Structure 1
Amino acid sequence: MVLTDQKVKLMDGVFSPSEASDILNIFIDKKINFHKLQRLSITEQNCNDDTPQLYNRINELIKAKESIREAIMEARREGLALQIESDIQITLIKK
């Protein structure tokens, strides 16, 4: 049952390659570390739980980081800026 919806604009702007690199790498690194800590917490509680969904998500984020790095390198080579837009959709639900 949905209680409320909220949409938050996280980023909306044009950034130099260096700015984009800083912003996106910090964000992705934090997300990767969040999932690594989750995985560690789960495996400490149950050493037989291999948390495949967390491994998969971490690998997806690592691949996304590489893809972003390549786009930033191309922007640097071409003397271009990067437009970054990001929204977060928050929905409160009953469990």
Structure 2
Amino acid sequence: MNKKYKICTRIKFYKLNIMNAEVKDEVKKTIKKQNIQLVDGEFTVSEANDIVKNLINEKINFHKLQRLSLCEGFLKSNTEFPDSRIGQLQNDKKISNEFFRDQFGKNVTVTINGVLEITINE
């Protein structure tokens, strides 16, 4: 069963497909899987830049909150993982900005297909 939701933004409608969880048995191990079509469509360069930038910013904020939570009550907590992810994501954002900047002013569109694949291992 596929459910489709349209999420309204400033100009375009983004489709969000939520598919039923798929269950597989593998040697006494159950794997539950769900795909979420987070972004699917054709966009202007400006729209695509905004989408990618906002997704990356959300992940950066998530890791900043994770780091803050680790340090709460113990300032010498190991924050190596969130720190490294924040750095990687900031670098990805810079690369993304350069990629889109090169396309501004051209008569082109950008297709984005962003699927989240979520797997639960028991």
State TM-score, norm by structure 2: 0.70
Partner of 1:26: 54
Tell me the secondary structure at the aligned position of residue 79 of structure 1. coil
| CA separation of 1:38 and 1:72: change in aligned 2, threshold 3 A | same
SS at match of 2:72: helix
Give 1:4's match in structure 2, choosing from 32, 38, 41: 32
1:77 Cα deviation (Å)? 4.1
Are the equivalent residues in 2 in contact too, given 1:17–1:81 (CA < 8 A)? yes
Gaps of 5+ in 2: 1-28
Q: CA 1:49/1:69 → structure 2, altered by over 3 Å: closer, same or farther?
A: same
- Provide the rounded CA distance (Å) in 2 between the counterparts of 1:50 and 1:77: 45
User: What corresponds to 1:37 in structure 2?
Assistant: 65
| Partner Cα separation in structure 2 for residue 37 and residue 72 of structure 1 | 28
* Bigger share in strand: 2
What CA distance in whole angstroms lies between the structure 1 residues aligned with 2:107 and 2:94?
A: 20
One-letter code of the match for 1:47?
Answer: L
Encode CA deviations 1:26-46: one digit per residue, 9 max, x unaligned: 111111011000000101132
Residues in 2 aligned to 1:14 and 1:68: alpha-carbon distance in whole angstroms: 17
Q: Cα offset for 1:21?
A: 1.6
- What residue ranges of structure 1 are gaps of 5+ in the alignment? none
Q: 2:46 is matched by which residue type in structure 1?
A: S
* Partner of residue 19, structure 2: none
Count of aligned residue pairs for this structure pair: 94
Question: What is the identity, as a one-letter code, of the residue corresponding to 2:91?
Answer: K
Please state how far the C-alpha of 1:50 moved relative to its aligned partner: 3.4
- Among the aligned pairs, what percent are the same residue? 34
Amino acid at match of 1:12: D
Partner of 1:66: 94
Read off the aligned partner of 2:60 and give its amino acid letter.
I
